[in-house]
Amino acid sequence: MSGDAGRYVGDYIGRFAPSPTGPLHAGSLVAALASWLDARAHGGQWLVRIEDVDSPRCLPGMDRVILQQLAACGLWPDAEPVWQSQRGPLYQQALDLLQQTKLVYPCACSRKEIAQAALKLGQAPTRHGELVYPGTCRHGLDGKPARAWRLDIQKSEEKSASRHAAQAQNATFSITNNMLHWADRRLGLQQQNVAQEVGDFVLRRADGLWAYQLAVVVDDAAQGITHVVRGEDLADNTPRQILLQQALALATPHYLHTPLVLGVNGEKLSKQNGAQAFDMSMPNAALDAAAKALQLPPVTGSREEKLAYWIKAWHGIYNLAP
């Protein structure tokens, strides 16, 4: 991994990165349309990446279904899609670098052991039921075999703060008193204390699979992604990804997190709570619903006319700078 790989100079490259655990539904189409519109409004490129790194959750052939759904809506990528499952050597290269710079450490803890340690500390589950890792293995494995690899947050924040100071004029984030601050183009100023709210997070899992956080950071850099547009439920991933970008000496993209489509139970519409695939025989209706969720004005006409109109409308609703 070379220093500042993936840094951009003015050119826009965006992406849509679905996981093939089910077909696109009303909520995921909102993210797809938003990322496509943002790229087109900037006059930039739009890429599609199939995030199938968590192979046990992926359904055979669902990647092709998703690509067919995007095509039915007129959302064509500007290059051939890539699959995370084919990019393992890139992730290993990144982990090797982090091991060399001593920003990661092996972890021998099981889920049960982490839960027991959290209970002793009086810690309640946070962040969608996850527990903050207490740092048990940070200073050694005590003779137990390694199961996973974790990023050392304290060391990473120190490196990030040093690198940030050297690049202050180009920075899209800052770290003060262990709090990472960044600006979202829709949500505004955001902050998170990664050490307290997340802990040292996993980069390679105990089952040998690559963790989402490492894969997405490496892929965004390798593809030269300059702007990330995705659902608001992923906003709290951003500080971890910024720390990892800094640890690997990679550029930090600009972020925009879109509104969520909610199910009847008031929770985010998802495959887990029964979200249904949109009808590919009626792409205009699906696009209309996605545009409404993005607060874009209704418009009549063909699919192409609608998309062209919404590209222009995007300028007035979402901040195109930077």
Cα 263 to Cα 88: distance, rounded to the nearest angstrom = 35
Task: Examine the pLDDT at 4 and tell me if it is beyond 50.
Answer: no
What mean pLDDT comes out for the span 227-253? 95
Task: Examine the pLDDT at 25 and tell me if it is beyond 60.
Answer: yes
Residue with tokens 């690509």: 67
In which band, very low, low, confident or very high, does the pLDDT at 281 lie, cut at 50, 70 and 90? confident
Least confident of 51-55, 125-129, 135-139: 125-129
pTM of this prediction? 0.89
Task: Examine the pLDDT at 265 and tell me if it is beyond 50.
Answer: yes
* Residue pLDDT, tens place only, 81-132: 999 999 999 999 999 999 999 999 999 998 888 888 777 766 665 555 578 8
Cα 11 to Cα 25: distance, rounded to the nearest angstrom = 30
Select from 26, 38, 21, 33 the least CA-distant residue to 76: 33
Task: Examine the pLDDT at 273 and tell me if it is beyond 90.
Answer: no
According to DSSP, the β-strands at 188-192 and 179-184 are: antiparallel
CATH 3.40.50.620 fits 13-317, yes or no: yes
What mean pLDDT comes out for the span 173-188? 90
Least confident of 16-25, 113-122, 145-154, 164-173: 164-173
Cα 133 to Cα 130: distance, rounded to the nearest angstrom = 9
Task: Examine the pLDDT at 284 and tell me if it is beyond 70.
Answer: yes
C-beta separation of 127 from 198 below 8 A: yes
Cα 110 to Cα 91: distance, rounded to the nearest angstrom = 23
Greater model confidence, 266 or 236: 236
Following CA atoms 55, 56, 62, 66 in sequence, which dihedral angle do they give, to the nearest 10 degrees? Answer: -60
Would you list the domain boundaries of the chain? 13-317
List CB contacts of 213: < 8 A, sequence separation 6 or more: 201, 202, 203, 237, 240, 241, 244
Cα 64 to Cα 20: distance, rounded to the nearest angstrom = 9
Cα 83 to Cα 89: distance, rounded to the nearest angstrom = 13
Task: Examine the pLDDT at 210 and tell me if it is beyond 80.
Answer: yes
